[in-house]
């Protein structure tokens, strides 16, 4: 939708965890288990809207509590209990602003590709190593710059929380 404008007052962000080959998913699941990252995701997204693809919705299997779950699908008759169903990322943003001033583009690969152009902030978790991913996060580094980061370890995983903002 070339002429779409993000609704006034809506702060649109991405939250994503990505490995060293930009991998984000495998077999419709996240290919690592890092409780500290999941806890951070919960803290950052609580109360806000999450715009996710139908496959990510299926992978999670239930609405994430305390947040407005918005599922994007091309299926006209798709039902998602506990979520709002829309048919584009743009319709997801139009719906999100009715619920909260912050909306997260929540993945997966297809939805990140469609939604990244509307985002001003990326809350990235870098995950060490590669994990045989079959879905990937798009290149974004040319349009964004790092504003803060924090490194930590969990089990065998070295992770780094990195916040990016869109270049002026
Ligand atoms: N590491 C992370 O931070 C993270 C975050 C989120 C997801 N993931 C992973 O990402 C993987 C899923 O990614 P994915 O790319 O395969 O699937 P996805 O983006 O979650 O969902 C794709 C589906 O969304 C719908 N869709 C996509 N573009 C659309 C459009 N323009 N208009 C209407 N509907 C549209 C279609 O649903 P229909 O087929 O129903 O029409 C499509 O099949 C999983 O492994 C998941 O675990 C990782």
Supply the pLDDT for residue 1: 67
Model confidence, pTM: 0.98
73: CA distance to ligand 1 center in Å?
Answer: 9
126: CA distance to ligand 1 center in Å?
Answer: 20
pLDDT confidence tier of residue 38, bands split at 50, 70 and 90:
very high
- Sheet containing 121-127: give its strands across: 84-86, 68-72, 49-53, 102-107, 11-18, 121-127, 157-166, 144-154
Phi, psi at 115, each rounded to 5°: -95, -15
Supply the pLDDT for residue 39: 97
Q: Does residue 70 line the site of ligand 1, with CB under 6 A?
A: no
Q: Domains in the chain and their CATH numbers?
A: 11-120 (3.40.430.10)
CA distance 102 to 12: 6
């Amino acid at each position: 939708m070339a002429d779409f404008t993000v609704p006034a007052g809506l702060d649109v962000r991405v939250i994503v965890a990505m490995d060293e080959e930009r991998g984000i998913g495998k077999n419709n699941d996240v290919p690592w288990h890092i409780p500290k990252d999941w806890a951070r995701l919960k803290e950052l997204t609580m109360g806000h809207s999450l715009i996710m693809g139908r496959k990510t919705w299926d992978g999670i299997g239930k609405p994430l509590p305390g947040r407005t779950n918005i599922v994007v699908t091309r299926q006209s008759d798709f039902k998602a209990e506990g979520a709002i169903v829309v048919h584009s990322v743009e319709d997801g943003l139009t719906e999100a602003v009715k619920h909260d001033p912050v909306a997260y583009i929540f993945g997966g690969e297809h939805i990140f590709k469609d939604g990244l152009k509307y985002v001003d902030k990326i809350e990235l978790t870098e995950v060490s190593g590669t994990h045989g991913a079959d879905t990937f996060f798009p290149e974004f580094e040319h349009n964004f710059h790092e504003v803060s980061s924090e490194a930590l370890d969990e089990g065998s995983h070295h992770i780094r929380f990195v916040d990016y903002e869109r270049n002026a």
